[in-house]
Chains A and B, each alone.
Chain A
Amino acid sequence: MKHALLIFGFTILVSAFYWYVSLWVPQKRTEPPEDIAISADISTDEMIAIGEEIVGGKGTCLTCHTMGESGTGLRFPDLDNIGAIALTRVEGQSDVDYLAESMYDPNAYVVEGFVAGMPDVSRPPVALTDQEILTVIAYLQSLGATPTVTMETQLQWQGQAPTTPAVTPVATGESRDGETIYASYLCNTCHTLDGQAGVGPTFQGIGSRLSKAELYEAVIDPDASITEGYIQGLMLPTVTASRFYDEVTAAELQSLVDYLATL
């Protein structure tokens, strides 16, 4: 018993020592990146400020890239003076296009002496929005040149990221079919299949009354067009409360529309 107690005390002592070692190193709590609200009419200076914040935060650019360092030890190109470098780096390509391509399709052009490996920042895990990327381009241009990009600038890569970014745990693995979704979210509470009137219009024959595009709109924006005799503003909060819009993937939404079209 005496030895057991001594050993237990020894265990606590050694564990406490290692805890102390872990307290001795720098203590930093890393918060998840926050989404930044970007309006369409911000000035260039505001774009640069937001872009700088994204480069050091949500974009995680400085995890790999350095700023103002040189030598043979760099694993990725240094970003110092990148605005000036981008003007002439690829012949026939504008600085805005070069910087945009290096974020959307980073392995299309790899700087000599470095190896490919940067991920597409418009997709998870970085998942910058098209607007956020425009502000990053403005900031990078400001490092050695004058920014020419604006929030109206159109880039060929825009709009290609997933329509439902997997930023919340809603991905469902195997897609559910339309009929399952109809049953799961209790659509039949308001919409009958036998032609009887309910809180909402019956689904009987809805496939012949509405096109797939109209069905799609009726699901994602139910107040855009209301069937005569039914109440506006009722379906949206009801469906939202069921977390339908959070949980259903694009593929499942398509399945639901396909199912409704068969009725």
Chain B
Amino acid sequence: MILRMLRLRTLVTGCLAIAALLFAADPAWGVPQVAEQEYRALPFISSRVLMWAVAELHLMFAAFVLAVPMFALVIEFIGYKTGDKRYDQLAYEFTKLLSVSFSFTATLGALLTFGLIVFYPTLAQYLVRIFSWTFLPYVLLFFLEAVFLYTYYYGWGKFSPRVHLFLGVMLNIVGTAIMFIANAWLTFMNTPAGVDELGNLTNLWEAINNYTWMPINIHRLIANVAFGGAIGAAYGAFKFLGAKTPEERAHYDWMGYVGIFVAICALLPLPFAGYWLGVEIYAYDQSLGITLMGGTFSWLFIIQAVLIGNLFLAANYYLWLSMGRIPGAERFRRFIKYLLAVITLCFIVWATPHSLVATVEEARAMGGSHHPILNVLGVMSAKNTAVNLLILTTYVSFLLYRRANKEATVSWAKTGNLVQFGIFAAVVIFVVFLGVYGYFVDAQTRIGLSQPQVLSVLFAMVSVTVIDIFLFRNAQSRGRVAWGKIPARSQYALFFLAITFTWLMGLMGYVRAGMRQHWHVYGVVRDTSVDAFTPTLGFAGMVVSAIVVVFFLLIAVVFFLSSLSGQKNWEPGQSKRWFKRRSETAATPLTQ
């Protein structure tokens, strides 16, 4: 019943949002009959902060709704190919989270549309006029997504596996297309194209296919999977902590592992997509790029380093705890302290700022804002080296986890191990060499060194994985993974990862919009409101934290509603029996 109401609400909010768009798009209504207000304010909260929160929450739910079908489909496909019903069940469990989340996404999207029209009427009108032709396909795709999503969810087990997989593919295609259209609107605001100097539309396709459209599409596609995986893992952790039976604990332990595995796999290529996005921003306008990376927002990337460093630390910590449930993993326990040392060292280097917050006396003693020793670690050469080694170390942790209960039986096992070690050693030396070399060359050459560093790390991960697959073919098992036998703190590590992913998403959402500074549409529509200033990072951090807490409150509602579908139906007298049982349980210690 609740799910039906939510479905109805999704359609209602969707229709309201569409009506709002049409209202704003209609030229006869859009043209002001009297002097129109450029902005409207709220009495107790800045309208910008309100819209910021609504937009970010919408984005988070949309990311989740787009990501879950991707890996649910892959898991379902694995189940179909292997015939293992556990995968099918797991995919269904992930999909159960979609229905309510889709309703929340639509509701927040409608709120965002209304908010833009009410608080930023002139900007909304401008964007509507530029992109009015994209609304019809957007609305049609939105409708199709609702159809495919609910058919995919409610049709689980009702269709042949191939038809159901096809529905999943269609759901993913439609969802991705929706995101691509919405991305055109927001990337246009950062790197507008297809308009003349007065902001008049000259070419719609150019406005859509602006400099950052495709990089954002790809970046979001990958980031959504990482985010969705982390939230899915958090759901597994939530259910694990409340599990009553060993079977439940085993199932949700596995679910949490699969979720975070998906998240980390997506996290690793994300910096490359971010690099492409950065390159396009610089190509569009160098001063915009410098504002982002070296100007107003340069310190934001120190916060980002702390967040990503924590992600790597927590992911490794979870893997090490997970090895406790695998027979044979004790062989590798001695390596953990070395891995931890390398990760900590890389984390410290990556989070070292180029210039320091210092008092006048301290600055005088240092001869400027750059520390004489730490300054060496606060530059890109050191940071690129650190992050590449961080990725490589996390991969080593995963490799140890993967082979924990396996004993290679192939005749060339020793050679294979030596080759793998040789690849690691060669790549580490190469990455460190390029990092040091970067101190002695000009800026252009130095920037170019990051590519061979990244490519060599990718090469190591791919080649070692390929060798590992053949090395452990027909391997001897030291015992089965004891799913569910893992300490509760590992589940808090999963929550920590989910919160950190969400906070990171909020922070990067802020900088993507904030880099425009006092422009609604960069260089075209200026922000003349009282909120045109760029706030301090502390204020931005406070808003992001508040958004994250609200998001997790809403996600808790999603988890609760999703778990209702597996519960028994209510029967008359059930409440009385429950209260009676509860009072008896409570009274027992007193009577003894």
Please indicate which of the listed interface residues A14, A124, A126 has the most CB atoms of chain B within 10 Å of its own CB: A14
Per-position 1/0 for B343-355, Cβ under 8 A of A: 0000000000100
B442 contacts partner chain A, Cβ-Cβ < 8 Å: yes
Chain B, 436-494, CB within 8 A of any chain A CB: 441-444, 446, 492
- Which residues of chain A have C-beta atoms less than 8 A from B544's C-beta? 18-19, 22
- A115–B447 Cα distance when bound, in Å, is 14
Chain B, 140-170, CB within 8 A of any chain A CB: none
A10 contacts partner chain B, Cβ-Cβ < 8 Å: yes
Quick one: which of A8, A21, A26 contacts B357, CB cutoff 8 A?
A26
14 contacts between A and B (CB under 8 A): A7-B238, A10-B492, A11-B495, A15-B499, A22-B303, A25-B300, A27-B538, A28-B296, A31-B532, A60-B287, A64-B290, A166-B197, A180-B31, A184-B33
B540 contacts partner chain A, Cβ-Cβ < 8 Å: yes
- Which residues of chain A have C-beta atoms less than 8 A from B302's C-beta? 25
- A162–B300 Cα distance when bound, in Å, is 35
B291 contacts partner chain A, Cβ-Cβ < 8 Å: yes
* Cβ contact within 8 Å between A31 and B241: no
* Cβ contact within 8 Å between B441 and A3: no
Per-position 1/0 for A15-36, Cβ under 8 A of B: 1101101110111111111000
- A26–B539 Cα distance when bound, in Å, is 12
* Cβ contact within 8 Å between A166 and B524: yes
* Cβ contact within 8 Å between A173 and B495: no
Nearest Cβ on chain A to B578's Cβ, whole angstroms: 14
B residues near A (Cβ < 8 Å) are 27, 31-36, 38, 122-123, 126, 129-130, 195, 197-201, 238, 241-242, 282, 285-287, 290-291, 294-296, 299-300, 302-303, 306-307, 353, 357, 441-444, 446, 492, 495-496, 499-500, 503, 517-520, 522-528, 532-542, 544-546, 548-549, 552-553, 556
Chain A, 169-209, CB within 8 A of any chain B CB: 169-176, 180, 184, 186
Quick one: which of A10, A167, A172 contacts B126, CB cutoff 8 A?
A172
Given known A-B contacts A29-B533, A73-B443, A166-B198, A19 and B526 have beta carbons under 8 A apart: no
Nearest Cβ on chain B to A125's Cβ, whole angstroms: 4
- A123–B287 Cα distance when bound, in Å, is 14
* Cβ contact within 8 Å between B126 and A22: no
Given known A-B contacts A22-B538, A63-B295, A247 and B241 have beta carbons under 8 A apart: no
A residues near B (Cβ < 8 Å) are 3-4, 7-8, 10-12, 14-16, 18-19, 21-23, 25-33, 60, 63-64, 72-75, 115, 117-119, 123-126, 162, 164, 166-176, 180, 184, 186, 241-243, 247, 249-251
Name the residue of chain B whose CB is nearest to the CB of A113. Answer: B442
- Which residues of chain A have C-beta atoms less than 8 A from B443's C-beta? 72-75
Nearest Cβ on chain A to B447's Cβ, whole angstroms: 9
* Cβ contact within 8 Å between B528 and A169: yes
Given known A-B contacts A19-B541, A25-B537, A32-B533, A119 and B285 have beta carbons under 8 A apart: yes
- A124–B545 Cα distance when bound, in Å, is 34
- A123–B199 Cα distance when bound, in Å, is 12
- A168–B126 Cα distance when bound, in Å, is 12
- Which residues of chain B have C-beta atoms less than 8 A from A115's C-beta? 444
Please indicate which of the listed interface residues A3, A168, A171 has the most CB atoms of chain B within 10 Å of its own CB: A171
Known A64-B286, A117-B282; 13 more pairs at CB < 8 Å = A15-B548, A31-B532, A32-B518, A32-B527, A115-B444, A125-B523, A166-B526, A168-B38, A171-B126, A172-B129, A176-B27, A242-B35, A243-B35
Nearest Cβ on chain A to B514's Cβ, whole angstroms: 9
- Which residues of chain B have C-beta atoms less than 8 A from A123's C-beta? 197, 523
Nearest Cβ on chain A to B352's Cβ, whole angstroms: 13
